[in-house]
Amino acid sequence: DPGAPPVIIIGSGLAGYSLAREFRKADRDTPLMMITADDGVSYSKPMLSTGFTKDKTARELAQADAGAMAEQLDMDIRTRTRVTALDPDAHEILIGAERLAYRKLVLAWGAEVIRLPPAISGSARVVSINDLEDYRLFRERLEPGHRVVILGAGLIGCEYANDLRNGGYDVTVVAPSVQVMPGLLPEAAATAVQQSLETEGVRFHLGVAAESVIDEDGKAVVWLSDGASIQGEVVISAVGLRPRTALAAEAGLQVGHGIKVDRTLATSAPDVYALGDCAEVEGQVLMYVLPLMASARALAKTLAGEETPVSWGAMPVMVKTPCCPTAVCPPMAHAEGHWDVQVDGTSVRALYRAADGQLLGFAVTGDYAMEKQALSREVPPVLS
Ligand code: FAD
């Protein structure tokens, strides 16, 4: 029924656009609408942390603007429009006082940055970089010779550290954890990445927390829990992301760490689906591109009338620290096994095996990183 309300996708990140693209392959006629809080420029978010290494400005990372995407995918896009509430009983979304009806609704609104306490985040020198607009503003304020302090030693903190060194900036990383990428890398692999970054000139203060950031004479002074302080012109807060769940929870949808969906990406509300960084698929929140692409392909078919559960194979994560190529397939939370670790300088092969020898996860760095494909074939699928 062409007169019926459109399929509405909220969010113009990789999840929203991948879904729209896949949906149009299966269904050319159903009206499609995208609503996005940002400018709707299509870009690949992982490229944000390789901007200097690959010598790309924010403008060069923009693949297509909203107008071009709307035309290409034959859909309406409303940019700079923030959805403020969902009304699943009425099959409507709210944008302030305005109501829009949908036939099917897809939540692809991503994850938000975790903000540090006001003593830190209150400083105008503290930035977080989670989308292309953040990145453009960051690049505008960064000047040659600037010292950058990165708060957080997770995947994103480490990638920005390597990238900014490649851009010639002075970089210091501060994090309360005793190793880099805790929860993602086993200790030996983390040590290899840290040592390689140190060889590139990155300084680390691990095992200490940043307590406050004071603006002083055109620079920031970052005070640490051990009483030391570090100076820099720009401070990047990279302490993690959290799926956006507030509007879903207010509308009565089931949420856990993310918006809870089943294998067909259906939420607990009829005709409402979720994918990408905001979604928790059968208890798992994987905030990476591979799982969202698989989700987009499955959900497009479901929306086009052929119900298709998503399956996720092994989901290796490539850490974009070129000074120490690293790939990791973390064992599942409930997995039981032990690490078998081989260290050869900064080349590490760490294999997590069950008692019967089955490979359940791995982390490989340096010369061993190229084994990632072969190892990925051995680990069990994340969602079979
Ligand atoms: P987003 O891209 O965050 O999109 C969310 C969209 O929703 C935005 O358009 C936003 O404006 C909109 N929105 C939010 N709230 C509302 C609202 N209320 N109303 C309307 N619109 C709204 N993954 C990998 O697999 N490999 C990598 O190498 C990798 N590198 C990364 C490097 C960096 C620096 C970062 C930050 C992430 C990286 N990731 C990587 C993760 C990956 O980029 C994300 O998983 C993916 O981009 C998430 O896409 P998304 O569409 O779900 O969310």
**223: Cβ below 6 Å to ligand 1?**
no
Same domain for 67 and 55, yes or no, is yes
Q: Is 316 part of a structural domain of the chain?
A: no
Of residues 227, 237, 308, the one with CA closest to residue 266: 308
Question: CATH code at 156?
Answer: 3.50.50.60
* DSSP 8-state symbol, 284: B
242 lines ligand 1 (CB under 6 A): no
Spell 98-129 as b/e; 16+ CB within 10 A means b: eebebebbbbbbbbbbeebeeebbebebbbbb
- Domain assignment present for 353: yes
Domain that holds residue 340: 325-378
Ligand 1, atom 32, lies closest to the CA of: 46
**Is residue 273 assigned to a domain?**
yes
Same domain, 90 and 51: yes
Beta bridge partners of 364: 327, 349
CB 379 within 8 A of CB 314: yes
Atom of ligand 1 nearest to the CA of 36: 21
Whether residues 233 and 143 share a domain: the answer is: yes
- Write down the pLDDT at residue 2: 63
Nearest to 5 by CA among 110, 95, 97, 90: 90
CB of 211 closer than 6 angstroms to any ligand 1 atom? no
Q: Nearest 5 degrees, angle CA 119-CA 215-CA 144?
A: 125
Are residues 204 and 220 part of one domain? yes
**H-helix or E-strand spanning residue 199:** helix 187-199
Q: How far apart are CA 362 and CA 351, in angstroms?
A: 5
Which amino acid is located at 177 in the chain?
S
Q: Burial level of 200, CB count in 10 A (0-12/13-18/19+)? A: middle
CA-241 nearest atom, ligand 1? 36
> Is 21 within 8 Å of 13 (Cβ atoms)?
no
CA of 128 to the centre of ligand 1 (A): 13
Co-location of 231 and 268 in the same domain: no
- Angstrom CA distances, 216 to 123, 142, 222, 226, stand at 11, 17, 10, 20
Write the Ramachandran bin of 39: left for phi over 0, alpha for psi from -120 to 50, otherwise beta: alpha
249 domain residue, yes or no: yes
Work out which ligand 1 atom sits closest to the CA atom of 111. Answer: 3
Instruction: Give yes or no: residues 124 and 195 share one domain.
Output: yes
Q: Three-state secondary structure along 18-41? A: HHHHHHHHHCCCCCEEEECCCCCC
Question: For the CA atoms of 291, 292, 297, 301, what is the dihedral angle to 10 degrees?
Answer: 110
Ligand 1 binding pocket includes 139 (Cβ within 6 Å) = no
CB 279 near ligand 1, within 6 Å: no
How many domains, the chain? 3
Q: Is the CB of 15 under 6 A from ligand 1?
A: yes
Looking at the structure, tell me whether residues 200 and 233 fall in a common domain: yes
Name the domain boundary from 205, 237, 269: 237
The pLDDT value recorded for residue 329 is 97
What's the CA dihedral at 296, 325, 114, 11 to 10 degrees? Answer: -20
Give CA–CA dist 316/104, Å, rounded.
32
Cα–Cα distance for residue pair 82/104, rounded to 1 Å: 18
Last residue of a domain, one of 237, 262, 278: 237
Residue 63 CA to residue 65 CA, distance in Å, equals 7
- Are residue 126 and residue 216 in the same domain, yes or no? yes
Ligand 1 centre to CA of 213 (Å) is: 27
Q: Are residues 191 and 281 in the same domain?
A: no
Mean pLDDT by 10 residues, the chain (384 residues): 88 98 97 98 97 95 98 98 98 98 98 97 96 96 96 98 97 98 97 98 98 96 97 97 98 98 98 98 96 98 97 95 98 93 98 97 98 96 90
Tell me, what's the pLDDT at 3? Answer: 75
**Ligand 1 neighbourhood includes 158 CB (under 6 angstroms):** no
Atom of ligand 1 nearest to the CA of 318: 28
Q: Which two tokens stand for residue 221?
A: 């002074």
Q: Are residues 125 and 96 in the same domain?
A: no
Does residue 215 lie in a domain region? yes
110 lines ligand 1 (CB under 6 A): yes
Question: What is the β-pairing status of strands 76-78 and 32-35?
Answer: parallel
CATH code of the domain containing 352: 3.30.390.120
For residue 166, the CA-to-ligand 1 centroid distance in Å is 24
Tell me which of 81, 242, 288, 382 to substitute to probe ligand 1's pocket, judged by most ligand atoms within 8 Å of the beta carbon: 288
pLDDT, position 384: 84
Examine the domain organization and report whether 203 and 97 are in the same domain: no
Diameter of the chain measured on Cα atoms: 67
Cβ of 38 below 6 Å from ligand 1: yes
Of the residues 188, 206, 237, the one at which a domain ends: 237
Q: What whole-number distance in Å separates Cα of residue 77 and Cα of residue 11?
A: 10
Is position 26 within any domain? yes
Tell me which residue has its CA closest to atom 53 in ligand 1: 110
Is 338 part of any domain? yes
- Ligand 1 atom nearest to CA at 277: 52
Whether residue 122 lies inside any domain: the answer is: yes
pLDDT tens digits, 318-330: 999 999 999 999 9
Q: At what angle do helices 14-26 and 289-303 cross, to 10 degrees?
A: 40
Same-domain check for residues 146 and 256:
no
Residue of 84, 289, 299, 329 to test ligand 1 pocket, by largest number of atoms within 8 Å of CB: 289
Residue 86, ligand 1, Cβ within 6 A: no
